Every structure is written in C-alpha cells, then in structure tokens.
Amino acid sequence: MSGATTGLRYKRVLLKLSGEALMGKNAYGIDMGVCNRLALDVKEVVEAGAQIALVIGGGNIFRGLAAAAKGMDRATADYMGMLGTVMNALAFQNALEQTRVDARVLSAISMPTVCEAYVRPKALHYMEQGRVVIFAAGTGNPYFTTDTTAALRAIEMGCDVLAKATQVDGVYSADPKHDPAAVRYDRLTYSEVLSRNLKVMDGAAIALARDNNLPVVVFSIEEAGSVLKVLRGQGRTSLIEGTG
C-alpha cells in the first residue's frame, strides 16, 4: 500500500461523523442523498490507498442526554441512542456498497442477525484488506458518547489521526453561527481544549486522545472531497495535539 499512499500525511484514519450530518436539511432521520455524497468522499479515500474506519453518532434518531433530561433513565436512553447508531451505520454501509466500496458494520452490542459483533483482530483484518469498517453501538456501555467511542476505536485500530467532521471549518471559541466574535484556532493542545472548555468533543474523548498521543483534526464535512484533503494535510482545519 505504501506506493498507493504517496502524498498522504495520514494513511489510517478514524472518521467521526455526527448523526446530524446524515439529516441534510431534514428535521430528523436519514437523508440518503447526503449519505451517498459522504460515501463518495469515503470512496475517494479508499481509492487513494488509505485505510478508513468510521464512527457515526445517533443524534438524528435519538439523543440519550436529551431524553435523560426529560426524565428517562439515563442508561436506558443511552442504549436507545446506541441502537440509533446501528441504524445510521447500516444506512451508510448501504450507501458505500452502492458505490462499490466493501464495508463492514461491527457492533459493540451483539445482534448477529443484523451485523457482526465488534472484535478487534477482525476489525484490524478488515482494514488491512482495504475494507471500510463502521463501528456501531458506541462502546456498548451507557454514559459514554460516540466521541469517546471514536477516540477509543482510533487508538485500538492504531490510526494515525482522528478526523472529526463538523459543520464548521475547525474549532472556535464559541459557535460561529451564533457568535460573530467567535475566535477560530488553527492549532490547539489537548490541555487548551480542556482548560478552555471548548465543545469540539467531550472531555473524556480529548483526555483519551491526549493520553495516547492521538492527533485530532477538526474540519468541515460540507465540502465534497474534504476528507481526502484532511489526509493530505490540506484544507482549512484545526489540529489538536501535544501538551503545549
């Protein structure tokens, strides 16, 4: 694969997509047109010779924290959210296979009639074969976000980078869509993200990345081809690494 990956800064990547990214302009659910566009972005990465895995959130279907805030038991709400991520993973697998990209969904919660169970050596084998691996059902435990799942799986898979896709072009001091004075950061340390309480990922995910020296690149998924640009070290991004 070394020849095929010429020009790539990162050769193995964990791509974190929010569930909301799959909604498009809809209020909830899955917009298959958006899924298909994102699948083409992933196909570009595969054809460039990189290995890629994904974690997709479930906020477009069910958000555990919101339900817990309304009185539902938090653990029950989180399990429901995990099932939402499985639905998103299956939809994205379908979109990838329609572009003739071989993909596998591995779930942290066993559901053998729906998808395969997550087993680390199997996931590594699939990635080394050039298949796209989609990790579903979070860590299989309540009280952990899909951001934390993404950091965990990226470390387990030996990824070079965790690419966090958002609707803006990096990390800001506040939501730039609501605060025109928000400051954008090109580079941050893990400690700065935590001390400034920047909301790009939850604290557990950032701490896990810090403790395992996993770089995090934050970028906008709105532009076609943006994932491959990240792997080439191009485009407008924010990089989180180091201790300062």
- Of the candidates 235, 230, 227, 229, which has an alpha carbon nearest to the alpha carbon of residue 101? 227
User: Is the four-CA dihedral 101, 133, 146, 212 of positive or negative sign?
Assistant: negative
Tokens of 122: 């199997």
Q: What is the largest CA-CA distance in the chain?
A: 55
Instruction: Report the distance separating Cα 200 and Cα 21, nearest Å.
Output: 15
Close Cβ partners of 6 (under 8 Å, ≥ 6 residues apart): none
Residue 244: predicted pLDDT: 55
In a domain, 61, yes or no: yes
Backbone angles phi, psi at 164, to 5 degrees: -95, 110
CA dihedral (192, 193, 198, 200) in degrees, to 10, reads 150
Count of other CB atoms within 10 angstroms of residue 54 = 27
Q: Which residues of the chain have pLDDT under 50?
A: 1-3
In the chain, the number of structural domains is 1
In a domain, 4, yes or no: no
Q: What CATH number corresponds to the domain at position 80?
A: 3.40.1160.10
Residue 3: predicted pLDDT: 45
Residue 6: predicted pLDDT: 64
- Strands of the chain (E only): list them: 12-17, 51-56, 103-107, 116-117, 132-136, 161-166, 171-172, 184-185, 187-188, 216-220, 237-240
C-alpha count within 13 angstroms, C-beta hemisphere, residue 104: 19
Q: Which structural domain range is residue 217 located in?
A: 12-240
Residue 5: predicted pLDDT: 62
pTM, entire model = 0.94
Instruction: Report the distance separating Cα 219 and Cα 17, nearest Å.
Output: 11
In a domain, 7, yes or no: no
Q: Distances from the Cα of 244 to the Cαs of 157, 187, 191, 213, in angstroms?
A: 26, 10, 8, 13
CA 124 to chain centre: 17
* DSSP string across 123-134: HHHHHHTT-EEE
Place of tokens 């952990």: 144
First to last CA, the chain: 34
In a domain, 66, yes or no: yes
Instruction: Report the distance separating Cα 178 and Cα 53, nearest Å.
Output: 32
- 52-74 pLDDT, tens digit each: 999 999 999 987 677 777 888 99
Q: Distances from the Cα of 29 to the Cαs of 22, 26, 80, in angstroms?
A: 8, 7, 15
In a domain, 2, yes or no: no
In a domain, 216, yes or no: yes
- Of the candidates 27, 4, 31, which has an alpha carbon nearest to the alpha carbon of residue 17? 31
In a domain, 5, yes or no: no
Residue 177: predicted pLDDT: 86
In a domain, 6, yes or no: no
